[in-house]
Amino acid sequence: MRKALWKIKLKTKDLSYTIKKRKMKVKISTATTFIIILVFTVFIFSGGVFSALEKPISLLPSSSGWTFIYRGNINAQTLSESLVSALLYLIGFLGLYLLYKSIKRAYRPREAYIMLIIGFTITLISVYYLIVLMQEKIKI
């Protein structure tokens, strides 16, 4: 009887050790974490929650044709407006990423300078068009 209990105890210890050993720790790289946070941020900033909950229309009829901007109403937006703003935010983040990479490549001055100019230009273009989009939205 004692021998059987000893064997059972030994097997359960081995089983618990095996189960603990087989648990895999999920290691998420910093790049993956950064991309997940970036996508979530762009989703929130571009009005993704509003688009998901309200199910807005994609285009609005206007006197000169179709438009994707709710003029004079800052509390509503079309689906196309959400997509355009999300694209502009992503382009802006791409420009900021190029600025960051240009700093990392300081040992190659020509490449760093080109990346710096391109990143700065892309970021400025994105910010400019986001401001224009907001001004068109506020305009009555």
Q: Per-domain residue ranges for the chain?
A: 28-138
52-103 pLDDT tens trace: 888 888 777 777 888 778 777 888 888 888 899 999 999 999 999 999 999 9
Q: What is the mean pLDDT of residues 7-32?
A: 67
pLDDT grade, residue 129 (50/70/90)? very high
Q: CA dist 61 to 46, 70, 81, 124, 138, Å? A: 22, 10, 14, 31, 18
